[in-house]
Structure 1
Amino acid sequence: MKIVTKSFLRYLQRRLTLSILQIMGVTCGVAGVVGMIMSAQTALKSFKNAIEFLRGKSTHSIQRHAGPLEESFLLELAQDPSVEHFSPVIERRLRLDNGETIRILGIDPFLDRFIRPEFSNIEFLDKNETLPEAFLSFLINEREALIDHNLKKELKIKENRLLYTEKGPIHIKGSFPNPSGEPLIIMDIGHLQKLYNLDGYIDRVDLILSDEQGFISRWKEGFLIQASKERSETFSGMLKSFRLNLEALSLLALFVGVFLIYNTSMFAVVSRRRDAGILRSLGANRIEIFLAFLSEILLLGILGGAFGGLSGFFLTRFLTKLIGSSISNLYFFLRPEPIGWSIWIIIIGIAIGCGASLLGGAIPLLELIRTDPVKALSGRVGSQESSRKAIRAAIGGIFVLFLSFILFILPGSHIYVGFSGVFGFILGVSLLTGLLLILLYPILRKILSVFGGIPGKVAAGNIRQNIGRTGVAIAAFMISLSMSIGLSLMIGSFRQSLIWWMNSQICGDLYIGKIDEAEVPEEFYEELKRIEGIDGVHPYRNVQVFYQKTSINVSAVDPFVLERFARFGWLKGGDENWDEVKEGGVIISESFSRRFGVKTGDRITLEGIQGPVDFKVGAIFYDYTTEHGLVMMDRKTFIKTFGDRTLNNIGIFFDPNNPKRDELLREVKKRAEARGLTVLSGSQLHQNVLKVFEETFSVTRSMRAIAIIVAFFGIAGAILTLFIERTREFGIYRGLGFSANQVARMTLMEGLGMGFISFIFSIGVGTLLAILLIKIINLRSFNWTIFYFTSWQPYLLTGITAMIASIGAAIYPIWRVYRTYPQIQIREE
């Protein structure tokens, strides 16, 4: 047994290049899996930690259903017998001069120490001041703030350092511990009120209650009271769709990675048939052959898994930043800390590498030990036998595709059922690859003979003859190329749908607002309405409220302005339904309709300042602002319901033929900037939205690139394995008169032929994958419709990628052709 195992392991040393390539194949597969899964988990864990840290020890929070909370309310709250401790809070985003946005919290230091005791552990920067002097300075001076330790190190804050923001310079007085990793700035709540013009108002009050039921019974009318756990679940629920898509990408990485490792370990077994035959003829039994092969596969899995875990660790640090950026843009400002090093990363990598390697090598290994020694000595599997296997695999693929179709048409299916259907579709078409290759062989033979002459014709025959190896490599490459096409078409369709939506609904000439979440003064809105010549002044307010214990968005609009200038895309209803909005009704987004099963004509109930209010749904419109659902109502109805008169932004509209348009645009911009308000043209706002869109899909694009790299090693391994197996055959070709250039051309044609077939298959598979992602996965994840837009660019880029990867995979075998003499190639080892 020891001798047999040594002979197998010595092969790895003799075929060092192939061994390295196989290890790199396992490494890339494991790295993709570890990188995607761990970065997603790290970002989501950071999100949870940030929520928990901001919650502190509070048991509940109280706020208005919409809009700010009156500060005078604290006097009554302090006398409530159920309140043990309370802390008023203002929470905003502060934009630094470098463009970075950081959460800033306004608190009362004396009240908040019972809720968030970490804020009491302050390290003041000025060592010359006593602790009471420094603390008193923080309370008195309006421009002083505290930052967390991590942000202090990052910004290299030293004594008396000023932090420059769009609100002006802020003096950093000290720092505090922040275990969540999210950057945070703290100011006295009174100073933050002045900074954001919120005199007399706060956002919420965090509470520690002794009697929950008694408190709720006294304060439930007109207020939103949430248990801290419920509030955390609300934030987590906001991330549900995003988390599901991260999990899908992680599973996709796992699928592609395992497929490549399967490909690699399968090559390691089938390319050794002749070696196994020799050892069997010398007296080795089946068990010894099995264990020897098993040790080789495990060695590849261990080495590749270890390197893959290490590579995945570095990939995780890159992907974590991308995911954190996406979460910040869409939901909740977050800067997740990159995962720290742990030996468990290597162990996880080895486990994935060994598991997938055993899975890939199990079937061919069992076939090998059952093969007759004389038949095994021939080395390669016969064409007829390979054809039978391809047909059996295709039958299995058709069955898997049928199961996937059943999963797709199940009514009301969960998103995981949709994901299972997509993975089944990918697996099914990969099993069909061998049969499709056999059917398309005549066409491939003609194409390669046209471009490569006789060497091209021979190359096509070699691809067909060795379908047991080339079929798996082509399937792996096809899946990666299909992912590239499918994801590109999905992203492109989403982008075009977003542009259509913006041109229809965000069509103002100017938008005036506040980047830092401060409100636009209502008196400025009234001032703009008095300017003669402006055709439309649109006030906009968006708040989060709860419907059926789930967070949704409610927007206050002016239906008269929108009816005149906007062109909403209607799923149900039309422009005539603006009349219902004017009379106190509402219109809802597609995502709200699908999420809660609400149709036109139904009534929905929202909690207002004076209790529940019923609204009739007039129409359903397409919307991409939030997947959680949007209810749109007249501003007058909104103020009556929620008592909130604040504004997020103002839109300015002009008729195209208005002669005073340019003059008035300059005037409005001048007045807005004088008030410190941000002014964006319609096109600038569109560009900002598209920028967020591009950043959101950066993770998906990274996954697509990883899949292409992974597939490259699959093709390279197949070509190199075929070259090593057929070394003697190449020598015979040279002996029959083929020149080195012709043999090299034959090798190149094999690589290009495999890449070409993979690309042809991926055109259909990638297009179908895009349709499945758009019509099933996206709709079940986000409850909104993406319209399918086709484009030639994904196909062109994928085709170029396929050809470049195929040529790159053939470079080393071609180099070996020129470096090896025919006499050496023909000689039996």
Structure 2
Amino acid sequence: MHLLRRAGLRYLLGHRWQVALAVLGITLGVAVVTAVDLANRSALQAFQLSADALTGEATHSITAGSEGFDEALYPWLRVEQGERRASPVVEGYAEDLDQAARVWRMLGVDAFAESEVRPGLGGIAGQADLALFMGRDDHVLMLEDAAAELDLQPGDRLRLRVQGRERAVVLGGTLATARPVDRQGLHDVLIMDIAAAQALLGRTGRLDRIDLVLPDEGRAATLAEDLPDGVQLRPAEARSSALLDMSRAFRLNLTAFSLLALLVGAFLIYNAMTFAVVQRRALFGRLRALGVDRVQILRLVLLEAAVVGLVGSVLGLVVGWLLAQGLVGLVTRTINDLYFVVQVRGVALSPHNLALGLALGMGATLVAALLPANEAARSPPRATLSRADLEGRSRARAPRLAGAGVGAILLGSALLLVSPALLVAFVGIFLLLMGAALMVPWLVLRSSLALARPAGALFGLPGRMAARGLSAGLSRSAVAVAALMIAISTVVGVGVMVDSFRGTFERWLDASLAADVYIAAPSVTGEASPPLAPGLPEAFAGVEGVERITTGRYLRLARGGEDWRLRAYDLGRDRADGFMFREGDPALWARLREEDAVLVTEPFQSRHGVGTGDSLTLPTPAGERSFTVVGVTYDYTTSEGAVIMAAERYRSIWEDETVNSVAVHAAAGTDTAELVARLRSAAGEAQALRYRPSAEIRQISLDVFDRTFTITHVLRLLATGVAVVGVLGALLALALERSREMAVLRAMGCSVQQVRRLILGQSLFAGGLSGLLALPLGLALAVALTQTINQRAFGWSLGVHVDPLLLLQAVALAVLAALLAGWYPARRMAATPPGDALREEVE
């Protein structure tokens, strides 16, 4: 074995380009998986650290949805209930006008109560000037690490944008904290006295929550029974768990797409190790004849694969870390757009990332190398010495592989159709891809034979030879075609999915944006718009050029361990215009105005299993109340889903006249720009508002959509890049294997140009076949993504829209990738003197 290992090492060192391509393939595959894992974990860790620091030692929280509850509950809790380890909280978000893209979490607290709940803020009473902190409404505190990073000193001013208005606050002091979780989790938090925060955030007299440390669950159950209607006691980690659960499907989608790149990388390893076995078939045959046993040959090939996999995995970890620096921004931006506000300060490799990258890289390498290693070990010495025997076995094995591929496709389809689990659905997709890959050798064999005659008629003997060359080198060409087919099918599948989603989203926007101008107070990404000042809707209704207005009320209701979104609309009529119904129709709105009836959005139906005719219990100020679901509407704004109610019914039950938005329907012939100017004048300076025409909202929504899928496009391109590298390696290997054949052709009188055209013709056939095979596979992948994955992950129904231009581009991409990959082998083989290639054969 020592001599065999030395021989294997000399082989690797003597075939640097071949080994480099294999290493590059596994490097890119591991890099993509590592980058996505790092980006996901960094965002997750940033959120979790913030949640842990803000939770502190609290075991439970008292909440009441997005509107909070009366602050009188706090003294009742401390005095009458005797809960001394309780801390009231008011929180919101503010944009830093001096630090681009920085969002501060504003936290209003009681300085004297914090030491019992949050150790990180327990030092306020000891470290801060309490007279300034509690006596002025513009003083804030921050951690000393954050102040040092921004080069801020006590007394410096910060310019913030809060609810659309510029506010100036003063850094009153800094806090030092001992726990690492507090130093990281509170890094982007500004702490204020609770009364000052209430004024700044428009929460006067209200609390968002009260954090408590309760001795046991028995006390928690007793306290929950004594709370007023509409107020709930729940475990402290319940809200953060619900938010993370919402983003879990998004993170799982990214991980699955990244694994596609690793799958293509595994094809490269299989390709490289097969070639390494084929190149040394004569050597292995001699070694077997001299007494080297099968186990030693198997161990040698797997050891070489392990070396390649280890080098590629280590490099992949480094490249993945670099790639993650860019991907984390895309992931964070998408999470902020769709789920919650999170800020990631950096990306660091953890032992988990190192173990995952090495395990996936080495595992994929060894699994991919197992078949060629077994082939080298099990072949009789005489067969090992024969190249024809290798190709003969490849052709004989092709029908059996195709049968296994059909079985994998059927199993994958069954999983997609039957299992409701998202992870199982992804397993089904991978079975589809692997099944298609297993069918490639048989399809290449049949296609090559079928194309030989037409190619000969069109291009003469070189065309016929190029077509038949694919089946002649089936052990090599099938791997190249499979790798490129999977990458191109991913391009088609994800492209069709994105186009279908965008088309469906655009149609929904066109139906939903029925008004001409939409008015709301500004909010930080991830937050609902603050309430409008009283009287503004009536003022807007009286503006010249306004035909009618509709209003919207948005809030969250604390329900069990999560917050349900409630939307109440005053449409001013008995029809629900502006909604797209999956179940029901616009005429149902009259029932919503007169009865305890609601609509639910499609994602809500998917998450909670509630449909038309079912009863839904909602917490109201007077206690829980049952509502009948009379319809289901399409909605693509959130995967949480929402309950929709008529504002007239909402106001009668909640006794709340608050409005969050106004939609203005202009009279015929009214200029939108002039109408906006009149609306601004009617509102005056009472509140900062945004006036957006429907066309602007449509464009903003599409921009957010495009940002959301930017990372998907990036992963798709990376997977394609890995495949191109694989095709280059396969075609180079195939060309090197046929060097003597090319030399014979040169010796018989073929010109350099003819040999070059022959090799490029093979590349053309390989690329064209890959592209054509990728189309049905890509369309099947698109149907799985739109009809199964998105439905189970987000609860959204999508129509399938296939752009013929996308399909043509995919085939063109496959052909171009194959031609680019075949250019170097063609140039090298055509330029090699025939004598050099034939010398070894003569010897």
With normalisation by structure 2, the TM-score equals 0.91
Taking a change above 3 Å as real, the CA distance of residues 661 and 707 of structure 1, as seen in their structure-2 partners, is: closer
What do you get for the CA RMSD once the two structures are aligned?
Answer: 2.7
Number of residue equivalences: 819
Structure 2 CA distance for aligned equivalents of residues 368 and 823 of structure 1: 30
Query: Which of 190, 206, 212 lines up with 2:211 in the alignment?
Result: 206
Alignment of 1:641-680 (within 5 A): 641-655=653-667, 657-659=668-670, 663-672=674-683, 674=685, 675-680=687-692
Aligned to 1:230: 238
Compare 91-100 and 359-368 and name the one that shifted more: 91-100
Q: Which amino acid aligns with 1:202?
A: L
Query: Which of 315, 323, 328 lines up with 1:315 in the alignment?
Result: 323
Aligned to 2:717: 705
Structure 1 CA distance for aligned equivalents of residues 478 and 559 of structure 2: 53
Structure 2 CA distance for aligned equivalents of residues 34 and 626 of structure 1: 28
Where structure 2 has 5 or more consecutive residues not aligned to the other structure, the ranges are: 176-181, 524-528
Does the Cα contact within 8 Å between 1:266 and 1:360 map onto a contact in 2?
no
Residue 116 of structure 2 corresponds to residue 114 of structure 1 = yes
Compare 224-233 and 485-494 and name the one that shifted more: 224-233
Structure 2 CA distance for aligned equivalents of residues 182 and 819 of structure 1: 63
Aligned to 1:577: 588
Residue 158 of structure 2 corresponds to residue 163 of structure 1 = yes
Aligned to 1:621: 633
Compare 533-542 and 576-585 and name the one that shifted more: 533-542
Deviations 1:368-392 (A, max 9, x none): 2222223222235454432221111
Structure 2 CA distance for aligned equivalents of residues 423 and 65 of structure 1: 41
Does the Cα contact within 8 Å between 2:60 and 2:235 map onto a contact in 1?
yes
Does the Cα contact within 8 Å between 1:304 and 1:350 map onto a contact in 2?
no
Residue 702 of structure 2 corresponds to residue 690 of structure 1 = yes
Compare 681-690 and 343-352 and name the one that shifted more: 343-352
Taking a change above 3 Å as real, the CA distance of residues 344 and 70 of structure 1, as seen in their structure-2 partners, is: closer
Does the Cα contact within 8 Å between 1:394 and 1:433 map onto a contact in 2?
yes
Query: Which of 352, 359, 362 lines up with 1:354 in the alignment?
Result: 362
Q: Which amino acid aligns with 1:404?
A: G
Structure 1 CA distance for aligned equivalents of residues 232 and 266 of structure 2: 48
Structure 1 CA distance for aligned equivalents of residues 21 and 71 of structure 2: 68
Taking a change above 3 Å as real, the CA distance of residues 351 and 448 of structure 1, as seen in their structure-2 partners, is: farther
What displacement does 1:765 show? 0.8
Structure 2 CA distance for aligned equivalents of residues 4 and 217 of structure 1: 76
Deviations 1:107-156 (A, max 9, x none): 22222332222134579xxxxxx9655x5333333333234456546544
DSSP 3-state at the match of 1:332: coil
Q: Which amino acid aligns with 1:87?
A: S
Deviations 1:632-678 (A, max 9, x none): 111232234344443322211124x2447654332113444733212
Aligned to 1:7: 7
Compare 227-236 and 274-283 and name the one that shifted more: 274-283
What displacement does 1:442 show? 4.2
Residue 370 of structure 2 corresponds to residue 365 of structure 1 = no
Does the Cα contact within 8 Å between 2:69 and 2:231 map onto a contact in 1?
no
Aligned to 1:63: 63
Compare 147-156 and 47-56 and name the one that shifted more: 147-156
Aligned to 1:91: 91
How high is the sequence identity, in percent, across the aligned residues?
29
Q: Which amino acid aligns with 1:54?
A: L
Q: Which amino acid aligns with 1:114?
A: E
DSSP 3-state at the match of 2:116: coil
Does the Cα contact within 8 Å between 1:321 and 1:335 map onto a contact in 2?
no
Does the Cα contact within 8 Å between 1:493 and 1:786 map onto a contact in 2?
yes
What displacement does 1:611 show? 0.4
Taking a change above 3 Å as real, the CA distance of residues 6 and 562 of structure 1, as seen in their structure-2 partners, is: farther
Q: Which amino acid aligns with 1:676?
A: A
Taking a change above 3 Å as real, the CA distance of residues 252 and 50 of structure 1, as seen in their structure-2 partners, is: farther
Where structure 1 has 5 or more consecutive residues not aligned to the other structure, the ranges are: 124-129
Taking a change above 3 Å as real, the CA distance of residues 132 and 719 of structure 1, as seen in their structure-2 partners, is: closer
Aligned to 1:18: 18
Structure 2 CA distance for aligned equivalents of residues 571 and 625 of structure 1: 16
What displacement does 1:781 show? 1.5
Does the Cα contact within 8 Å between 2:66 and 2:208 map onto a contact in 1?
no
Compare 725-734 and 288-297 and name the one that shifted more: 288-297
Q: Which amino acid aligns with 2:169?
A: I
Aligned to 1:297: 305
Alignment of 1:42-441 (within 5 A): 42-65=42-65, 67-97=67-97, 98=100, 100-120=102-122, 133=129, 135-148=130-143, 151-152=146-147, 155-158=150-153, 160-166=155-161, 167-176=166-175, 178-180=183-185, 183-210=188-215, 211-341=219-349, 345-346=353-354, 348-379=356-387, 381=389, 383-410=391-418, 413-441=420-448
What displacement does 1:606 show? 0.6
Taking a change above 3 Å as real, the CA distance of residues 182 and 753 of structure 1, as seen in their structure-2 partners, is: farther
Does the Cα contact within 8 Å between 2:33 and 2:255 map onto a contact in 1?
no
Deviations 1:404-463 (A, max 9, x none): 2222332x6222232222111111111111112222224544675578654343222221
Compare 432-441 and 36-45 and name the one that shifted more: 36-45
What displacement does 1:557 show? 0.6
Q: Which amino acid aligns with 1:479?
A: I
Residue 500 of structure 2 corresponds to residue 489 of structure 1 = no
Residue 811 of structure 2 corresponds to residue 822 of structure 1 = no
Structure 1 CA distance for aligned equivalents of residues 663 and 759 of structure 2: 64
Structure 2 CA distance for aligned equivalents of residues 696 and 78 of structure 1: 45
Taking a change above 3 Å as real, the CA distance of residues 407 and 349 of structure 1, as seen in their structure-2 partners, is: closer
Alignment of 1:27-38 (within 5 A): 27-38=27-38
Taking a change above 3 Å as real, the CA distance of residues 169 and 800 of structure 1, as seen in their structure-2 partners, is: farther
DSSP 3-state at the match of 2:531: coil
Structure 2 CA distance for aligned equivalents of residues 202 and 546 of structure 1: 14
Structure 2 CA distance for aligned equivalents of residues 648 and 55 of structure 1: 29
Compare 783-792 and 663-672 and name the one that shifted more: 663-672
Does the Cα contact within 8 Å between 1:515 and 1:678 map onto a contact in 2?
yes
Does the Cα contact within 8 Å between 1:313 and 1:345 map onto a contact in 2?
no
Does the Cα contact within 8 Å between 1:65 and 1:607 map onto a contact in 2?
no
Taking a change above 3 Å as real, the CA distance of residues 305 and 191 of structure 1, as seen in their structure-2 partners, is: same
Aligned to 1:509: 516
